[in-house]
Structure 1
Amino acid sequence: MTTRRTFLMSAAGAAAGAGVITILPFDARANTAGGNTFPTDGGEVVVHPVEHASLILETPAGVIYVDTVGDPAMYADMPAPDMVLITHEHGDHYNAETLAAISGEAPILTNPAVFDMLPEDLKARASSIANGETTEMMGVGIEAIPAYNTTEERSNFHPEGRDNGYVLTVDGLTIYISGDTEGTPEMAALSGIDVAFVCMNLPYTMDAEAAAAAVAEFAPSYVYPYHYRGQDGGTQDPETFAQMVADAGAETEVKLHDWYNGSLS
């Protein structure tokens, strides 16, 4: 019997064996029957990349916004949120003005540090979750995965214990959102991840080589490299990352999307 999970794993294994890299169109909404859609036991999850670390998941349980920042106009044509997740306080992940403008009355889930700094009107419909804790919202299981720097000279950017990544379980589909982190023991210990979003930029997180090594270790079925623009030469090449994942023999298909300029060529 072919289940959703065995379908995903067999497809990913075949893709990895062939070195397949999927390049996604800029307008993800034009491709909801293709590369951005993942089956669940109760329907489909559609991924809408927005920019940098911001993304939207359209799921059978509802629409989930993640790390919503930037011009509210970027969200104008997107489905309205039913839930908002914030990983941590940095301005490319949390902006109170953007959050107020686009979140409507949707509940907000954050790490404790962001919860403490929310304006009172947003805090009234927010809750917090700390590293290692679990909760459920809209029938979606949520686990807060520690997100932090392991390299000593980068530890001031994301100290251990403060920031979250998230594992979401939506009708049997497991989705990992890394937030800002390096490859940690907690990431390596993940198992059964269907779709992952993994950051890579310097000096703030990790380079493409470290990200590829981390992905090869926990082996999600699919991975989107995102959050890859850095400073002082720290921007990472997602296509290089994809080749490194393939060279490592990971049973993971890499899905490439240009999170900054439109489309990859």
Structure 2
Amino acid sequence: MKTPFLLAAALATFAIPAQAQTAPAPRAAADQIATTKGPLTVQPVTHGSVVFTWNGKTIYVDPTGGAAAYAGLATPDVILITDIHGDHLDPKTLASLSVGKALMVVPKAVAEKLPAEYKAQVRVLSNGQRLDTLGMSVSAIPMYNLPEAAEAPHTKGRGNGYVLHLGGKNVYLSGDTEDIPEMRALKNIDVALVCMNLPYTMDVNQAAQGVLAFKPAIVYPYHYRGQNGLSDVATFKKTVNAANKKIDVRLRNWYPAAQ
């Protein structure tokens, strides 16, 4: 009489791992952009997180979402972190990934909050500073809220936007910013990732007007989840292209888990 019980137990044993495994939400397809040193691959991950691969190197930007969000992607050679908030600086995600050999480029405020184990890997950049490494350059630029105020979510000088120079292409990462003069003054940007989520950064129209001022060749709306859900990136694209049809606005799904 024990045979049915043993068989059921055995089947249950095999069933448990299958039930415990949760497949990660599918990522948006990666884009490839030509550079003088081979293609730059742009892989959306989630919210403000993106992975670039270029010239044999892999760059993680604001890695969040846990290990599952990065399944199948190469381990990072460089990690860029823009700010101290949890959707940019996520120690749990860092701990879940193989980041032991990665150079971490961060603002001072982030360096002060990183676990001590990463100290030897950290290079601090302040607004206006530049780092040349691994055949690329990384420039830190301001990101902040307007009007400037001590109680603003993002104060000037605390966090970094970044401009990467990769094989003749300039790639701008806005971080958490509004339509600030420093963004409008950018020149020769080939690829831009621009945030738009109220009340933390700027609205869709502000983002569109900022983009129209600095005229990137390609722009990706990213970081567009706010208190009231996802921003209307289709209206962003319509607004930009109504004024400048040459700007290639690329809408990608940065929130696959929400689908």
Q: TM-score, normalised by structure 1?
A: 0.83
Q: Which residue of 1 aligns with 2:74?
A: 79
Does the residue aligned with 2:127 lie in a helix, a strand or coil?
coil
Distance in 2 between residues matched to 1:142 and 1:192, nearest whole Å:
15
Which of 158, 163, 173 is the matching residue for 1:162?
158
- Residues 83-138 of structure 1 show CA distances to partners (whole Å, capped at 9, x for unaligned) of 10000110001111211321232111101100111111112211110011111121
Q: Percent identity?
A: 45
Q: 1 CA distance for matches of 2:69 and 2:56?
A: 23
For 2:258 and 2:244, the matched residues in 1 are separated by: 26
1:72-151 equivalence runs, <5 A: 72-102=67-97, 103-151=99-147
1:162 is paired with a residue whose SS is coil
Matched position secondary structure for 2:221: strand
**Distance (whole Å) between structure 2 residues aligned to residue 28 and residue 64 of structure 1:** 17
Shift of 1:174: 0.7
Name the structure 1 match of 2:11.
none
Structure 1 position 244 matched with structure 2 position 245:
no
Whether the aligned pair in 1 keeps the contact of 2:127 and 2:142 (CA below 8 Å) is yes
Match runs of 1:224-235 below 5 Å:
224-231=220-227, 233=228, 235=230
Alpha-carbon distance in 2 for matches of 1:58, 1:227 = 20
Would the alpha carbon gap of residues 159 and 153 (structure 1) be closer, same or farther in structure 2, given more than 3 Å must change?
closer
Q: Give the C-alpha shift of residue 234 in structure 1.
A: 6.1
Contact 2:79 2:105 in 1 (8 A): yes
Query: 1:28 and 2:23 equivalent?
Result: no
Deviation at 1:26, TM superposition (A): 4.6
* Distance (whole Å) between structure 1 residues aligned to residue 89 and residue 27 of structure 2: 23
Match status 1:181 vs 2:177: yes
CA distance, structure 2, for counterparts of residue 153 and residue 121 of structure 1: 34
Q: 1:159 to 1:94 in 2, by over 3 A?
A: same
Structure 2: how far apart are the matches of 1:263 and 1:248? 31
Structure 1 position 37, deviation (Å)? 0.6
Residues in 2 aligned to 1:52 and 1:161: alpha-carbon distance in whole angstroms: 22
TM-superposed deviation, 1:61:
4.9
Question: Does 2:223 match 1:222?
Answer: no
Match of 1:195 in 2: 191
Runs of 4+ with deviation above 3 angstroms: 151-155
Aligned-pair CA distance for 1:178: 0.4
Give the TM-score normalised by structure 2. Answer: 0.85
How many pairs align?
A: 233
Structure (1 or 2) with the larger CA radius of gyration = 2
Letter in 1 for 2:57: G
Structure with the bigger RCO (C-alpha within 8 Å, sep 6+) is: 1
Tell me, yes or no, if structure 1 residue 51 matches structure 2 residue 46.
yes
Per-residue displacement from partner, 1:31-75 (whole Å, max 9, x unpaired)? xxxxx1100011010001000000000111510000001221111
Conserved? CA contact 2:58–2:74, under 8 Å: yes
What letter is aligned with 1:219?
K
3-state SS, counterpart of residue 176 of structure 1: strand
Unmatched segments (≥5 aa) in structure 1 = 1-24, 30-35
Structure 1 207/168 Cα, relative in aligned 2: closer, same or farther at 3 Å? same
Tell me which residue corresponds to 2:61: 66
| Cα RMSD (Å) | 1.9
